[in-house]
Amino acid sequence: MVPSFPLLSGTDSLRLQYIKPFERQFFIGPVIKQRSVSFQLANVNDRSKKIIYFPNNAYSAGVRVNLFGIGMEGTFAVPIARKNMERYGGSEVSDFNFISFSKNWMADFSRQHYSGFYFNRSWFPLPGKAVHPQRPDLEVRNSGLSFTYIFNNRKFSMRSPYQFTEQQIRSRGSFLLGFTFSRFRLGGETEIIINNTDQVFFGDGRDARQMNLVVMGLSPGYGYNLVYKKYFLNLSVQLGPAHNWVSYQSVDGSKHYDIDLNFTASYHAAIGFNGDKYFMGLGFISRNNQARLLETQISSSGSSFRLVAGARFEERGIFKKRISDLWKKK
């Protein structure tokens, strides 16, 4: 479930020239999405030598509603986009995500648990229908919090292309400043790089059985809404330095600790139609972190793909109420 809490736009006359709010309408519509976590290990001395791990998880489908001033999504897994189990194995997924957009900021909290991955080696490409090597024992626990401030919030809306509680009328952009804190934990029953044949392509750190990466970063960036009539294209990029606390346990049980300065990045992209009554949008969000473990680099990526459509209706009777009215009466 993904709740969001849109705020009222007030009577800002300048903002109304660029952004149309839908404060007294509720909407309902279907949503299809997929969230995923992948990671890769690379040789820092030869970046072409890398192993990339992917889960084999399905899409989820459900409904999104905006009612009583609150937006909510409820979805359940459906067996589409899950790849052939024999060739790619299976993945068990537990995923919670909370997103909130206001006119001034956007915040995102997620907690994910994935088990079961298949992987590809850069030096050993597989033919089209080959069975991929699989690691059903590998587990990833990924949790994170991000907060981004929108500077030009009187002319630029992130709620328009992603929440549809507003409509961007004129094309405008804004500088962004984000803060990220996350923890990525990875482990298996044996080495992550599982055999000696693969390990020869890597240096120190190749014998890790468990890894733990804590990231705290600051990411400036820029976002832009391109509008043509009722159609829109949103692109935003944030990239900045990150302080990493890294630890890993070797297969022999010894533990190693280090700190690393690297980078954190996030990308938003959305395209669609946002009319006065009907709307439809396709959105993509990706967050990436990197850290170095001696001569081995680990890169983690969390992504979200989402297709949503719906229609707005004028609020009548009890539907004009707001959750915030409960606090106003006290």
Please, are residues 162 and 283 in contact by the beta-carbon 8 Å criterion? yes
CATH fold of the domain at 13-328: Lipocalin (2.40.128)
Share of the chain above pLDDT 70, in %: 85
- Please write the tens of the pLDDT for every residue from 45-57: 888 899 999 998 8
pLDDT, position 102: 83
71: CB partners within 8 A, 6+ apart: 3, 4, 5, 6, 64, 65, 163, 165
Q: What size, in residues, is the chain?
A: 330
Distances (CA, A) of 140 to 8, 53, 57, 117, 135: 39, 11, 14, 10, 12
Mean pLDDT of the chain: 84
Running DSSP on this structure, what letter comes out for residue 320? G
CB atoms within 10 A of CB 106: 24
Specify which of 97-106, 268-277, 318-327 reaches the highest per-range mean pLDDT: 268-277
Instruction: Using the predicted structure, report yes or no on whether residue 156 has a pLDDT greater than 60.
Output: yes
| Alpha helices in 231-310, H assignment, sequence order | none
Which pTM was predicted? 0.84
- Whole-angstrom Cα distance, residue 38 to residue 270? 21
Please, are residues 49 and 191 in contact by the beta-carbon 8 Å criterion? no
| Bridge partners for 216 per DSSP | 181, 243
- Whole-angstrom Cα distance, residue 162 to residue 265? 19
Q: What confidence category does residue 77 fall into, taking pLDDT thresholds of 50, 70 and 90?
A: low
Tokens encoding 204: 């120190």
- Please write the tens of the pLDDT for every residue from 201-218: 888 888 888 999 999 999
Distances (CA, A) of 121 to 49, 55, 276, 283, 300: 8, 15, 49, 29, 16
Q: What confidence category does residue 191 fall into, taking pLDDT thresholds of 50, 70 and 90?
A: confident
330: CB partners within 8 A, 6+ apart: none
Tokens encoding 32: 């299809």
Share of the chain above pLDDT 90, in %: 40
User: Which tops the pLDDT comparison, 228 or 88?
Assistant: 228
pLDDT, position 98: 82
Q: What confidence category does residue 321 fall into, taking pLDDT thresholds of 50, 70 and 90?
A: low
pLDDT, position 7: 42
SS3 state of residue 266: strand
SS3 content of the chain, % helix, strand, coil (to 5): 10, 65, 30
- Please write the tens of the pLDDT for every residue from 78-90: 655 556 788 888 8
Please, are residues 304 and 270 in contact by the beta-carbon 8 Å criterion? no
pLDDT, position 137: 92
SS3 state of residue 162: helix
Phi-psi region of 27 (alpha: psi -120 to 50; beta: other; left: phi over 0): beta
pLDDT, position 236: 97
Q: What confidence category does residue 100 fall into, taking pLDDT thresholds of 50, 70 and 90?
A: confident
- Please write the tens of the pLDDT for every residue from 238-266: 999 999 999 888 888 888 888 888 989 99
Specify which of 31-35, 240-244, 302-306 reaches the highest per-range mean pLDDT: 240-244
| Bridge partners for 3 per DSSP | none
Amino acid in position 171: S
Instruction: Using the predicted structure, report yes or no on whether residue 320 has a pLDDT greater than 70.
Output: no
Please, are residues 223 and 235 in contact by the beta-carbon 8 Å criterion? yes
Instruction: Using the predicted structure, report yes or no on whether residue 322 has a pLDDT greater than 60.
Output: no
CA 118, chain centre distance (Å): 21
pLDDT, position 1: 42
- Whole-angstrom Cα distance, residue 94 to residue 307? 20
